[in-house]
Structure 1
Amino acid sequence: MEKLSHKARTRQRILDEAAKVMRECGTESIGVASLMKRVGLTHGGFYAHFASREALVEAVIEQMFADSAQRIAAIVQVEDPAQRLALLIDNYLSDIHRAMPGEGCPLPALASEMAHLPIEARTLFSRRREAVCQRLAEPLQQLGNAQADTLAASILAEMVGAMALARACPDEADANDILAASRQSVKQRAGLVLA
């Protein structure tokens, strides 16, 4: 494995911290000065790694989706399409995912903010959302669903919405109920469980 240079390691530290802040608090919470302070670096050092705050946001979006893909890499390798789809749904709509917004999927954390960001960030976010959707569509296609792409888009929308609502719930039992209801609903629509 190639050893990263000091500059590359520093850039990665900035990206990792910025990704955590964006997932937990949104894009508006990333101020260059406060971010660099959190990483233990000076404000001026930021520009050795990123041309602008907007460039940082785009790099962080890319990083967050890459992190999420890495976390489910083993699930994506499951050969049986029904089992793979069930695991993807269960993993996404889990209490563990709900309790860890700083490490989870960027979709529920950032979807409401994307309309306010520059077109480059929105385009990148949209492309990465499509890749997540495709991970759901593939097992649906393998299971013979003629409307796999449409169903995958709908399932993803429900899962993202359910996760966002569950995270907004002050009551843990209510949050868990939202996730459980959504798990049951999307599995029924995917043909994984009987109605």
Structure 2
Amino acid sequence: MSEAMTPKERTRARILDEAAKAMREKGADGIGVAALMKRAGLTHGGFYAHFENRDDLVAHAVDRMFQDSAFVLQRHLGGNAAAKGLSELIDYYLSEDTRRRTDGGCPLPSLGGEACRMPAAARARFADGITAFRAALAKALTAFGAPDPEALAASVLAEMVGAMTLARALDDDAAKDALHASRAQLKRRIGLPTPS
């Protein structure tokens, strides 16, 4: 959190951080206002100083989760050559560490299946997050010289999200094998170097 934030802004950010973690762990329906405020170390009554209602909280928590995704995309794709950035992003996204950290990271593997049941504002923000992620991939794929980068970006994103979603449903050994295979196949399909 920024030092320049007011106390109210810091409190709101803390609530959103906890809401984002809780939603990734339990889904949008798995967070109640009272439990969330307790988790954030605050009283239930203080909630309405920051959000209109639970739906407003869910929409802002979706924004918060995609801020994390934007940070990851910037870290890997922002300052690196396209091939290096894409390779590093795939390695990070499809890693054992990411699989185990269900309370952090990209919200797509955790919440993609339930986005259609979220409140309208949260659904719209979820769709915006997907669009931004896909655009970042397309920009890197364009710089890499990949043919039809827009279509490839959509496919790469779907494969990364699907691979992580499935890996989280498997036991450790099977998940490790699935993630390894997905990383290698994605890199091969894009034309990135793959370890022998």
TM-score (norm 1): 0.93
**What residue is the counterpart of 1:142 in the other structure?**
143
CA distance in 2, matches of 1:42, 1:83: 46
CA distance in 1, matches of 2:145, 2:69: 27
**Structure 1: stretches of 5+ with no match in the other structure:** none
Deviations 1:115-166 (A, max 9, x none): 1112221111111111111221112112222311111101110110110111
**What residue is the counterpart of 1:177 in the other structure?**
177
Give 4+ residue runs of structure 1 displaced > 3 Å after superposition: none
Letter in 2 for 1:80: A
Letter in 2 for 1:18: A
**What residue is the counterpart of 2:89 in the other structure?**
88
Letter in 2 for 1:187: K
Find out whether 1:4 has 2:5 as its counterpart: yes
Report the secondary structure of 1:113's partner residue: helix
Letter in 1 for 2:186: V
Give the superposition deviation at 1:72: 4.2
**What residue is the counterpart of 1:109 in the other structure?**
110
CA distance in 1, matches of 2:103, 2:88: 21
Task: Identify which range, 77-86 or 26-35, moves more after superposition.
Answer: 77-86
CA distance in 2, matches of 1:72, 1:151: 17
Q: Is the 8 A contact 2:59 2:119 kept in 1?
A: no
Q: Is the 8 A contact 2:87 2:187 kept in 1?
A: yes
**What residue is the counterpart of 1:168 in the other structure?**
169
Give the superposition deviation at 1:2: 5.2
Q: Is the 8 A contact 2:37 2:43 kept in 1?
A: yes
CA distance in 2, matches of 1:71, 1:83: 14
**Structure 2: stretches of 5+ with no match in the other structure:** none
Give the superposition deviation at 1:13: 1.0
Deviations 1:77-118 (A, max 9, x none): 233211111111111101111111111111101100111112
Report the secondary structure of 1:146's partner residue: coil
Give the superposition deviation at 1:3: 2.3
| Aligned-residue identity in percent | 50
CA distance in 2, matches of 1:98, 1:49: 32
Instruction: State how many pairs are aligned.
Output: 193
CA distance in 2, matches of 1:89, 1:81: 12
Find out whether 1:55 has 2:56 as its counterpart: yes
Give the superposition deviation at 1:68: 2.4
